[in-house]
Amino acid sequence: MKKSAQKARIRTFIIANWKMNPATHVDAKKLATKSKSLGKGLKKTTLVACPPFPFLSDVVAPHTKGYAYGAQDVSLHASGSHTGDVAASQIVSLKASYVIVGHSERRAKGESDVEVATKVRVALSVGLTPIVCVGERERDDEARYLLTLREQIHASLEGVSPRDFGKIIIAYEPVWAIGGDTANTPDDTVETILFIRKTLMELTSEKTALSIPMLYGGSVDDTNAAGFLAKDEINGLLIGRASRDPKKLARIIEASEKRNSQIKKTKIR
């Protein structure tokens, strides 16, 4: 194998986005306990629990390779009078490592690409790893959605220094696949992920772009997770509904542990 085509091993990320669930603190504590135990001793996978803010302290646990936690959003502002906002530094004060930024459900409420980019920079400035969500609203036969995706990526990462690209995670989440019953296909996902990597090479070095973990999200559960995880190009999954069902989550993690995860120099068209 040529040096340039050598493969680098990378952990598989399973991001559990609890969204606005569960309804009570009692249930949140139960889910947090299950999540922590699922994260114990994982060899190839990092499970990242992302509960709503009121339950963030429940998922706190010592850092291990298998388990981490983060928030679902972050304030645009570092400090000041912003009622209802939660600052990046407050998230870090709980020793959280990750924050989801630009989720389509926040974009649907009016969050702009400019705001997403600001949040990415704010997160990076305090050492949080932003999990930046990008994805098209709908597909068209002429593949114009790829151009929209490219614009969204450029705008959502505006002002991020090329060096800092090595500290982000990208979650490709086609909006039409989130919260429904039809996921994208693994093959289509690979195609789009290659396109996203190519786009990232316009913003940072090839080496850094190739090191960025690329996740898929959108109606993943225990029945289809293995299909995505069978693809080398997909470095993990962002999971909504199924992540709140410990049995489904356990099966997804099992599939992740069984895979032979690698980042490789894939042909980029």
User: What residue ranges bind ligand PEP (CB under 6 A)?
Assistant: 17, 19, 103, 173, 178-179, 217-220, 238-241
CB of 103 to ligand PEP, least distance (A): 6
CB nearer ligand PEP, residue 149 or residue 178: 178
Q: Say how far apart CA 68 and CA 59 lie, in whole Å.
A: 8
CB nearer ligand PEP, residue 51 or residue 240: 240
Residue nearest to ligand PEP (CB): 240
CB of 79 to ligand PEP, least distance (A): 29
CA neighbor of 44 nearest in space, from 265, 254, 264, 266 = 254
Is 82 a residue of the active site? Answer: no
Is 158 a residue of the active site? Answer: no
Under 8 Å CB-to-CB from 121, ≥6 apart: which residues? Answer: 159, 160
Query: Residues 105, 111, 136, 173: which is the catalytic one?
Result: 173
CA neighbor of 149 nearest in space, from 101, 99, 103, 195 = 195
CB of 216 to ligand PEP, least distance (A): 9
Under 8 Å CB-to-CB from 219, ≥6 apart: which residues? Answer: 177, 178, 179, 180, 181, 182, 183
CB nearer ligand PEP, residue 166 or residue 179: 179
CB nearer ligand PEP, residue 32 or residue 225: 225
CB of 158 to ligand PEP, least distance (A): 22
Query: Residues 103, 111, 136, 233: which is the catalytic one?
Result: 103
Residues classed as catalytic: 103, 173
